[in-house]
Chains A and B, each alone.
Chain A
Amino acid sequence: MRPSRAYAGRGMADSIDKLQMSITKRYGGKVVLDQFPLEIVGREFVTFLGPSGCGKSTALGIIAGLVPPSDGEIHLNGRRIDDVPPEKRGFGMVFQNYALFPHLTVFGNIAFGLSLQKRSSEEIDKRVRDMLGLVRLAGYEDRYPGQLSGGQQQRVAIARALVLHPRLMLFDEPLSNLDAKLRVEMRAEIKQLHTRLGLTSIYVTHDQAEALSLSDRIVVLREGVLMQVGTPQEIHDRPKNVFVADFMGFRNFLDVTLGKEAGGMIEAGFKGQILQARARDSFHPGERAVLAIRPEDVRLGQSGDGVNVLRGKVELVEYLGREQEAEITLDGGARLWVRSHEKIVLGETLDLTLPADKFVLLRRE
């Protein structure tokens, strides 16, 4: 897509080809980021995904230059930028709580950076108005932040950063203060702006749906340690460990002992039964492992060949609108979550099929 008019005039010099880093951050004795590696190319949309307190904001702050790293280096287009102060890096940032200047109007907020650059008032006026159009806030220029809704405030915050044509946009959970519906709308808007303006963006969230829908690449973090990097599809379908799988909605984790491998399939002993799963490199017979499967991938009833069938009693049913999710206690005592469109009755005994190709084989932790 052609970059929009509001964004024209961005020189080649300030675009970003590659950002590379490997950083460690300690607070006191506590390691918050442990040699966190990252490589981003121009126009990419990268998401940091992880639970609260895992160090996402800290990583973003270090990239922005607001938080000094304890160790490590950051390179932009091959040049080291650790010593460049935040105001000279040319990055834009959007904060979770918007952080609009309460004493300035919408216009004043968006014009803030331009007026620091001593632009002419005609240029400021034009660029601010173009930007207001872009974030669909034309006509709001004289309002104060306190007179705007959360979604409008966040759009002002985005416009305020974008008007300076940042070579890298940093978003720190920008939607987490909004209600569910608005969150989905704004998510689409951010993605649209990113593509339309040819931005390079790093986006922090703890919401997996947000990460999946926005990103070119997702970086999953746990307590400051990188867990997995990959496209949304890779992360969603082939999580590398129990932590990522859990975060991606795998709810069933079966402790198994691996058996024979044949024809790309491997046998897995589970409570006296033999299950079949797709084999994976570096897993060997005799090893103890975990089989993960999503509730929605478990099928009700027997499959044709009788492979991977388990029996159990329905203990709990949660109504989810179009579907229901049920907790089943298997004959061996283990529990399994199942999601289905079909009606599940509390207390009944069911046959369940776990399709071999839906299992993800993971190392036990």
Chain B
Amino acid sequence: MRGRMWKLAIYLFLLGFILNLLGIVTHVVVSSFAKRWFGKPLPPAFTTDWFTYAWREFELSHVLFITLFIALAVVFIALAIGFPAAYVLARRNFNAKPVLLLLYFLPLLIPQMTYGIPLATTLYGFGVGGTVIGVILAVLVPMVPLAVFILLPFFEQISFNLEWSAQMLGASRLQIFRRILLPLMLPGILTAGLLVLVNTISNFELAFLLAGGGSQTLVVALYYNVFAGGVRPVYSIDAMAVIYMCTVMAVLLVALRFVRPTQMVFRLDGRRN
């Protein structure tokens, strides 16, 4: 009986949570298309004007371009650093490895604000604060560990004997990388790339701390415009939020066509032999 009640309570809670979420999202979406909307269940008239308004007034084409540029740069650099790092961590065993792993993953575990502020101070000190480069560097701090964290199990799935047999067949390090590791790591690279991309686009704290006038990402721009309160029509802010949501959804949808996140669970059974 008690078990039943518990289940019911949990279901109700989940239902409430989802309805609430749907409510908020729907409200924002509806509002972004509304001409005027006061105290009625539905706005009397719809328009797409707010989107054109937001696009023009908030310089969204520029903001989107900056956002994508930063995101792609972070993905590229995080993979370029994370790939060899994950390889070494997967292949070599040394005494300090557990400690190193923990240090490495600390940025993923602790809230970004705790290290974000000293990090921002340092980067401003180097004169890259407020620039695109500053944002990229700051976001890389948690994103490189994330890439390593995701690539590691993929590497561990690849038997070391495969590298050895390639070597015995005459392959150099570079050829092993190109012909064996890269094709076998493709699912891992896509998964890591996807998660870094989505996380970078949605990263607020670090982007906020480092962004200047010309280097605002979409979330940061959204935040500034929300709190520039009163000046902008609320409908245009909602339109911007919808654009933000759509961007993230679009990136996710495109990426999910290439990546199956379930592959990350692979290694639970088939470890290297």
A68 interfacial contact with B, CB 8 Å: no
CA distance A66 to B163 in the complex (A): 10
Does any Cβ of B come within 8 Å of A282's Cβ?
no
Whether a CB of chain A sits under 8 angstroms from the CB of B72 is no
B154-184 residues at the A interface, CB under 8 angstroms: 159, 161-162, 164-172, 175, 179-180, 183-184
In angstroms, Cα B169 to Cα A116, docked, is 8
Interface string of B171-207 (1 = CB under 8 A from A): 1100100011001100000000000000000000000
| Residue B273 at the chain A interface, CB threshold 8 Å | yes
Q: Which residues of B contact A112 (CB under 8 A)?
A: 166, 169, 171, 179
By a CB distance below 8 angstroms, the chain B residues around A157 are 165
Query: Looking across the interface, which residue of chain B has its beta carbon closest to that of A64?
Result: B168
A102 to chain B: which residues have CB within 8 Å? 184
Question: Which of A90-98, A253-261, A265-273, A287-295 participates in binding chain B?
Answer: A90-98
Residues of A close to B183: CB separation below 8 A: 103
Name B170's contact: one of A64, A66, A87 (CB within 8 Å). A87
Q: How far is the CA of A88 from the CA of B183 in the complex (A)?
A: 24
Is the CB of A7 closer than 8 A to any CB of chain B? Answer: no
A188 at the interface (CB under 8 A from B): no
With a cutoff of 8 Å between Cβ atoms, the chain A residues found around residue B162 in the complex are 99, 101
Docked-complex contact B159 and A86, CB < 8 angstroms: no
Find out whether the CB atom of B161 lies under 8 angstroms from the CB atom of A92.
no
A86 to B173, CA, bound (A): 11
Q: Mark A216-241, 1 if CB is under 8 A from B, else 0.
A: 00000000000000000000000000
A287 to B88, CA, bound (A): 57
Number of interface residues of B (CB under 8 A): 18
List, in ascending order, chain A residues with CB within 8 A of B184's CB: 102-103
What's the nearest-Cβ distance from chain A to residue B66, in Å? 38
Q: How far is the CA of A104 from the CA of B169 in the complex (A)?
A: 14
B residues less than 8 Å from A113 (CB atoms):
169-170
CB A124 to nearest CB in B, in angstroms, measures 13
Interface centre among B168, B170, B179 (most CB of A within 10 A): B168
Q: Range of interface residues on chain A?
A: 20 to 34
Instruction: Determine how close the nearest CB of chain A comes to the CB of B197; give it in whole angstroms.
Output: 25
Give A157's nearest chain B residue, CB to CB.
Answer: B165
A186 CB to nearest B CB, Å: 18
Which residues of chain B (72-99) have a CB below 8 Å from chain A? none
Check A87–B168 contact: CB distance below 8 A.
Answer: yes
Is the beta-carbon distance between A91 and B168 smaller than 8 angstroms? yes
Give every chain B residue within 8 A of A101 (Cβ-Cβ): 162, 165-166, 180
Which residue of B has the minimal Cβ distance to A177?
Answer: B273
Task: Point out the residues of chain B lying under 8 angstroms from A99, CB to CB.
Answer: 159, 161-162, 164-165
Contact B166–A161 (Cβ < 8 Å): no
Q: Is A245 an interface residue (CB 8 A)?
A: no
For window 96-125 of B, CB contacts with A under 8 Å fall at none
Residue of A whose beta carbon sits closest to that of B186: A103
How distant is A93 from chain B, measured CB to nearest CB, in Å?
4
Q: Does the CB pair A86–B168 fall under 8 Å? A: yes
B93 to chain A, nearest CB (A): 11
Q: Write the nearest CB–CB distance from B185 to chain A, whole angstroms.
A: 10
Decide yes or no whether A160 CB sits under 8 A from chain B.
yes
Contact check, A87 vs B171: say whether CB atoms are below 8 A apart.
yes
Whole-angstrom distance between the Cβ of A178 and the nearest chain B Cβ? 15
CB of A95 within 8 A of CB of B164, answer: yes
From residue 51 to 103 of chain A, which have CB atoms closer than 8 A to chain B?
64, 66, 85-88, 91-93, 95, 97, 99, 101-103
Q: Which residues from chain B contact A95 at a C-beta distance below 8 Å?
A: 161, 164-165
Residue-wise interface mask of A (153-197) relative to B, using a CB-CB cutoff of 8 A (1 in contact, 0 not):
000010011001000000000000000000000000000000000
Residue of A nearest to B161 (CB): A99
Q: Please give me the residue from chain A that is nearest to B272 by CB atom.
A: A97
Q: A102-B184, A116-B175 are in contact. Are A97 and B168 (CB under 8 A)?
A: no
Give the interface centre of A91, A99, A102, A103 by most chain B CB atoms within 10 Å.
Answer: A99
Question: Are A93 and B166 in contact, CB atoms less than 8 angstroms apart?
Answer: no
- A88 to B169 alpha-carbon distance, docked (Å): 9
A120 within 8 A of B: no
Within A111-162, which residues are at the interface with B (CB < 8 Å)?
112-113, 116-117, 157, 160-161
Name 19 interchain pairs, CB-CB below 8 A, sorted by A: A85-B167, A87-B168, A93-B164, A93-B168, A99-B159, A99-B161, A99-B165, A101-B166, A102-B184, A103-B184, A112-B166, A112-B171, A112-B179, A113-B169, A113-B170, A117-B170, A160-B165, A160-B169, A164-B169
A85-B167, A99-B165 known, 9 other contacts, Cβ within 8 Å: A66-B167, A86-B167, A86-B168, A87-B170, A97-B273, A99-B162, A112-B171, A117-B170, A160-B165
Closest 5 CB pairs of A and B: A113-B169, A99-B161, A93-B168, A99-B165, A87-B170
A residues bordering B, Cβ < 8 Å? 64, 66, 85-88, 91-93, 95, 97, 99, 101-103, 112-113, 116-117, 157, 160-161, 164
Q: Which residues of B contact A (CB under 8 A)?
A: 159, 161-162, 164-172, 175, 179-180, 183-184, 273
